[in-house]
Amino acid sequence: MERPRILIVGGGFAGLECARRLERKLSPSEAEITLVTPFSYQLYLPLLPHVAAGVLTPQSVAVSLRRSLRRTHIVPGGAIGVDPASRVCVVRKVTDEVIAQKYDILVLAPGSVTRTFDIPGLTDYARGMKTLAEAAYVRDHVIAQLDLASATLDQRERESRLQFVVVGGGYAGTETAACLQRLTTAAARRYPRLDAGQIKWHLIDIAPKLMPELGDPLGAAALEVLRERGIEVSLGVSVAEVGAETVKFTDGRVLPCRTLIWTAGVAASPLIGTLDAETVRGRLAVTAEMRVPQFEGVFALGDAAAVPDLAKGDGAVCPPTAQHSARQGRAVADNVIASLHNQPLEPYYHKDLGLVVDLGGKDAVSKPIGVELRGVPAQLVARGYHLMAMRTNVAKLRVGANWLMNATAGDDFVRIGFLARQPARLQDFEYTDAYLSRDQVRAHAQSLLAKG
């Protein structure tokens, strides 16, 4: 009898945890497990600001899938369409070859992409912080601005190169602004023509509060830390227009600026749009057991799925966080196994264990299991949490060693020349234009199946 084919799309927190649990709980004879992912690593996304600031090397937050998984077949590519009627996932491999990946059970965990709006110049001039390549690029770009500002005698050019804008007052934006501001302040001492006072960082968000999930006391504490460092925080403000050398805010201000880092939220992977299925604010609508009700044998989870948050109730859905994604991955694996054994599925229920925000150095705010912490205790909790959440001992060792080295030896300010002369548009890093329409998916699926 042929083994059931379990296909997992996405190698992030949700996909990796699902595959790991399936390997542990199913024998090789019970199912064939395949994972489709463009990269051979799970990106530990919460630490990308540390990569951008050079505190961690890119390799440190790229957790090897082949160290984490033992018998899962990994297809190096991205899913660009799903045809549930044929039970086929259309995959574009990293070589651009398009193949049909058949399945009996499909687990959709394609994650999310940076959410953008129809703002003039945004997609051409904004830098993202969603991928490892973007974090490495942002680091190179920021240091390049310091190098060029130091080298020029044109005061207007220098001013525009030394103004940095981060859009998004959530965790990603706040940590990015905090970590990069520390980097540029330390770097200024190495440039004879620059002074730290010339470097201006701006953090803006349309929301009235910074990181409201933290609650007012910790949100206010984080805001105080940022402002004490000289970061100008503007709330209730967004971007009206972005140019090559200027940024215009919705309050009318126009800043000379050549660096805008966009972290204003995420949207579900465009893969979701290739299915003819119900969505909730762009995320795939699923049951509490994370089944897609329209299709037999299809589960969805993580950032791409609107999983009911039973702990909150009142129709709430789980926020797109690493904490939920990892736990949903394990829960979906259990439900996949239950479906194979014709057993009842279990609803996903998880109460949030707390929040950690690393502001770099000795600064942090954390709220583990409802306990509010600030400063060094919060930093210890934040970094301890990250180390525990990483899936391999090699990754834990690399991150811990990097933190120790940075604490003792300080920052370095080396550019590696990453995409030095290439545009850095959001779609270039996140491949948002790679997906097929529903009609194209069906046509590709039938054509590929006919070819065998």
pLDDT for residue 29? 94
DSSP state letters, 21-41: HHHHHS-TTT-EEEEEESSSE
Q: How far apart are CA 79 and CA 202, in angstroms?
A: 37
pLDDT for residue 447? 79
Mean pLDDT of 174-200: 94
Mean pLDDT of 190-195: 92
Mean pLDDT of 304-310: 96
Look up the pTM and report it: 0.93
Q: Are 429 and 131 within 8 A, CB to CB? A: yes
HEC string of 213-258 equals HHCHHHHHHHHHHHHHCCCEEEECCCEEEECCCEEEECCCCEEECC
DSSP state letters, 316-327: -B--S-HHHHHH
Mean pLDDT of 353-359: 88
CA angle 190, 192, 197 (to 5 degrees): 80
Residue 363 has pLDDT above 90, yes or no: yes
pLDDT band at 1 (very low <50, low <70, confident <90, very high): low
Average pLDDT across the chain, whole number = 93
pLDDT for residue 333? 98
Q: How far apart are CA 357 and CA 375, in angstroms?
A: 11
Q: How far apart are CA 207 and CA 139, in angstroms?
A: 27
Which residue has tokens 């709220």?
367
pLDDT band at 434 (very low <50, low <70, confident <90, very high): confident
pLDDT band at 419 (very low <50, low <70, confident <90, very high): low
Residue 452 has pLDDT above 80, yes or no: no
CA 54 to centroid of chain Cα atoms: 18
- Phi and psi at 410, nearest 5°, equal 85, -175
Question: Domains of the chain, with CATH numbers?
Answer: 5-114+267-352+429-450 (3.50.50.60), 116-264 (3.50.50.100)
Residue 421 has pLDDT above 70, yes or no: no
pLDDT band at 422 (very low <50, low <70, confident <90, very high): low
Q: How far apart are CA 341 and CA 292, in angstroms?
A: 19
By the 10 Å C-beta count (0-12 exposed, 13-18 middle, 19+ buried), 229 is classed as middle
DSSP state of 212: G
Q: How far apart are CA 296 and CA 289, in angstroms?
A: 13
Q: How far apart are CA 319 and CA 306, in angstroms?
A: 8
Question: Which two structure tokens, joined as six digits, stand for 441?
Answer: 């998916």
Torsion-angle region of 342 (φ positive above 0: left; ψ -120 to 50: alpha; else: beta): left
Instruction: Tell me the per-residue pLDDT of 263-274, one tens digit each, with 9 for 90 and over.
Output: 998 999 999 999
Residue 420 has pLDDT above 80, yes or no: no
Beta-sheet pairing, 373-374 with 364-368? antiparallel
Residue 240 has pLDDT above 80, yes or no: yes
Instruction: Tell me the per-residue pLDDT of 80-135, one tens digit each, with 9 for 90 and over.
Output: 999 999 999 999 999 999 999 999 999 999 999 999 899 999 999 999 999 999 99
Q: How far apart are CA 95 and CA 99, in angstroms?
A: 11
